A and B are shown apart, each in its own frame.
Chain A
Amino acid sequence: MNRKILAVLLAVAMVVCMFSFVACGNNENKGDNGDEGKKDEKVEVKVGFIFLHDENSTYDKNFMDAAKAACETMGVEYAQKTQIPESVKCYDAAVELIEVDGCNVIFADSFGHESFLIQAAEEYKDVEFCHATGTQAHTAGLDNFHNAFASIYEGRFLAGVAAGMKLNEMIDAGEIKAEEAKMGYVGAFTFAEVISGYTSFYLGAKSVCPSVTMDVKFTGSWYDEQLEKEAAQALINGGCVLISQHADSMGAPTACETEGVPNVSYNGSTVAACPNTFIVSSRINWAPYFEHMIDCVENGKAIEADWTGTISTESVLLTDVNEKVAAKGTVEKIEEVKKALLDGSLHVFDTATFTVGGETLTSYKADVDTDEKFTPDTEVIEDGIFYESKHRSAPYFDVRIDGITLLDEAY
């Protein structure tokens, strides 16, 4: 009997060994950062980051890279929790980062984390809570809860300029007629962040190519490679000659590369995978905010309820232009427009540049203060300009302007 038991144990041990080799082989190169997050009593600030997914999502990777860079620049320690869903698990993660890892600043990266972060903020008054993309800080009445976003619409406007230049080049080369200059846009959901994004992109293109129109398709998901690919494909089949997207997978860029259709990307360069179609990409750089947040806590300054990063804070970045695909003079043109945006002579949502139902917009109330019924509550047009991200950091531009056709509104 003893021999049998021994045999069983040996067999189990063998299985374990086999799997340890498999697991080891797959992850070998990931173990070189083992010292992060070690306990050290001397640091004043320790940041705890809560991420919705992990580095496989371009959205979260953008935050993770910035977190690492900012904490290294500022010389502070940090801890992180990945794969945290938008549920009470976000609250749990915040509590764990505070109680176990000793963090005194907590940052969460997903819109749905907000309410659960607020719960934690109410309980831990001496800890600062910062949240990307959220909308409730200016009405929550908590000193230790803050929202942040960036004026990514400016980045998209610049990317739109590059797209417009490309369309002009195609028109000049006789590949398409001026009225065939139709772009396609793959969006996630029909809500302000996405609407603000595709509209600014469109207005950027329109500023150099007046005849441009745009079709938009929604996937109903922030990350669904197959759906995004299919949406891009459908747009191309529908006559779109240039594609951009606001979703987090490689779906749309890959479809463009296969079809040979130029693509303006998001969240970072996709030039490695799409060398023949990638033009340029805009993204939010979160490092400036993280540094600001750390600096405030280190020096006992209050963090703003809403913080909006801009081109001048280097929160809104464009990647290098892919000269192989982009039209001639794109780089110079982008620089020129960027200067105009910076000195205030150009505004992305200038009501003179677009119409709604054929008419110029003179007044618009947006849903700035979050409530259950999404009631419009704040006048956002002043002096003929729709001021995005002025009354709170998260976008609230949700106007359907002329020239853009929504092919589906299921989401």
Chain B
Amino acid sequence: MTTKQTVKSHREPLFHVAKRDDMAWWQAWLIRAVTIILSVVAVGVISMMLTEKSLFETFEIMYRGVFGRIETGSTVMLWKYLQEIAILLCLALALTPAFKMKFWNCGAEGQALMGGFAAMICMIELGGKVPDGALIAIIAVASMLTGALWGLVPAVFKAYFNTNETLFTLMMNYIATQIIAYYVYIKGGGSNIIQPVTHGNLPVIGTNRYLVNILIVAVLTVIMFVYLKYSKHGYEINVVGESQNTARYIGINVKKVIIRTMIISGAVCGIAGMLLVAGTDHTINTKTVGGQGFTAIMISWLGQFNPFIMVIMTAIVIFLRLGTAKVADTCLLNASFADIAVGIVILCVVGCEFFIRYTFKFRHKKKEETV
């Protein structure tokens, strides 16, 4: 609650910002929903202005870019859409426990890359030497461990030396990228491309190359929800996030929680890397994660750290990205248009959060009723 209004002066500003907590949950969600719809429409309108197509045509192109010709029974595009959701969601899920603890892990990109790196090494070095089933198990363990290690390092420094985790995790991304670049140089034989490896690929269910990834992330989503909401760990994360002093007072080992949570965060990022390398690409380069580790930060925030809401947010962001990329390609706009569109929507949603949490109070208005 605010107490700003208790001080009265003759030169009260025209308005000031005060925190509000009088909004019902359904009102907040209504605002969010309307904001998203309006911002998506705004993106459509901008597309329309740039391309001289009607709003309806613009949305039709966006729809085609995401779902393809689904009405004719062709589901390939739908699966690709779900795959893109799965990867981004997996990264966002990984960040969420750290964020809830107010540990700003900006290193999902690097942690996932390192997970993928471990998978790649196993595929290249052990491929053909151990049975594929065993190899996949080794890959899974190796990816999670390497991702966890990449999360562990900044966590230890944070816990024991109180270093700034945002900078630390960011820097770890660059190290990971350079390691990959060097590895690709060694293995690429000058062409700087590692040709896809056929060993240790995640199994293809039926003819669908993405289904395994999607199922794994679906399971992860549920696990993460339960872990955060119902487990003792989840509770400890919450308390540490709210106040480290409180946590200490009630006997929580803060250092342990920070380190443990970052190991989990890194390990899940490692899984994302594994899904990319062993699951779909079967090769690696510095662009394998493609900046999604940073988009995931927004997803986790927009989803209020709730895995199920994050699913919706990911679906919206990926829809926009694929859809606007299709608009850009069809109408020969620059591909950056997709980034602009996603940026507009995210900005609007973040903007609306501000109005949900705060309110403007004007000077000439009568004193607000106490809440």
Contact = CB atoms under 8 A, between A and B. Distances in A.
B272 to A, nearest CB: 14
A81 B195 CA distance: 22
Interface string B58-71: 00000011001100
A85 interface: yes
A149 B50 CA distance: 36
A384 interface: no
B222 interface: no
Nearest to B280: A88
Interface string A40-63: 000000000000001110000000
A99 B68 contact: yes
B283 A87 contact: yes
Interface stretch (B227-235, B300-308, B311-319, B334-342): B334-342
A9 B34 contact: yes
A12 interface: yes
Interface of B: 27, 30-31, 34-35, 38-39, 42, 45-46, 49-53, 64-65, 68-69, 74, 76-77, 80, 181, 185, 189-193, 195-196, 209, 276, 280-283, 285, 287-288, 290, 325-326, 328-337, 340, 344, 347-348, 351-352, 355-356, 359-360
B191 A79 contact: no
Contact of B53 (A5, A11, A34, A100): A34
Contacts of A9: 31, 34-35, 38
Contact of A23 (B195, B344, B352): B344
A55 to B, nearest CB: 7
A301 interface: no
A192 B190 contact: yes
Interface residues of A, number: 56
B335 A54 contact: yes
A288 interface: no
A173 interface: no
Given A8-B355, A88-B280, A15 B348 contact: yes
Closest 9 pairs between A and B when the two form their complex, measured CB to CB: A191-B190, A83-B335, A16-B42, A88-B280, A8-B355, A112-B193, A82-B335, A31-B50, A34-B52
A43 to B, nearest CB: 16
Contact of A12 (B45, B185, B348, B360): B348
A212 interface: no
Nearest to B333: A30
Given A8-B31, A116-B196, 12 more contacts: A1-B27, A9-B35, A30-B332, A36-B332, A86-B285, A87-B288, A88-B282, A99-B69, A100-B326, A220-B181, A220-B192, A410-B185
B64 A115 contact: no
Contacts of A31: 49-52, 331, 333
Contacts of A372: 195
A15 B351 contact: yes
A36 B335 CA distance: 16
Given A20-B42, A100-B77, A79 B329 contact: yes
Given A12-B351, A191-B189, A99 B42 contact: no
A190 to B, nearest CB: 5
A57 to B, nearest CB: 11
A383 to B, nearest CB: 28
A220 B30 CA distance: 51
A87 B330 contact: no
B331 A12 contact: no
A95 interface: yes
Given A36-B331, A220-B181, A16 B80 contact: no
A19 B334 contact: no
Interface in A9-39: 9, 11-13, 15-17, 19-20, 23-24, 27-28, 30-31, 33-34, 36-37
Nearest to B35: A12
Given A19-B347, A31-B52, A34-B51, A190 B334 contact: no
A79 B64 CA distance: 13
Contacts of B359: 4
13 contacts: A5-B27, A7-B360, A9-B31, A9-B35, A16-B348, A20-B49, A36-B331, A79-B329, A86-B283, A99-B69, A100-B65, A220-B192, A374-B189
A23 B46 contact: yes
A117 to B, nearest CB: 11
A209 to B, nearest CB: 29
A23 B52 CA distance: 15
Contacts of B326: 100
Contacts of B285: 85-87, 112
Interface in A100-139: 100, 111-112, 115-116
A12 B352 contact: yes
Contacts of B351: 11-12, 15
A27 B334 contact: yes
Contact of B334 (A11, A30, A112): A30
| Max chain A Cβ within 10 angstroms of own Cβ: one of B34, B209, B329, B344 | B329
Contacts of B360: 7
Contact of B352 (A8, A24, A33, A410): A8
A60 B284 CA distance: 22
A286 interface: no
A189 B196 CA distance: 20
Interface in A173-205: 189-192
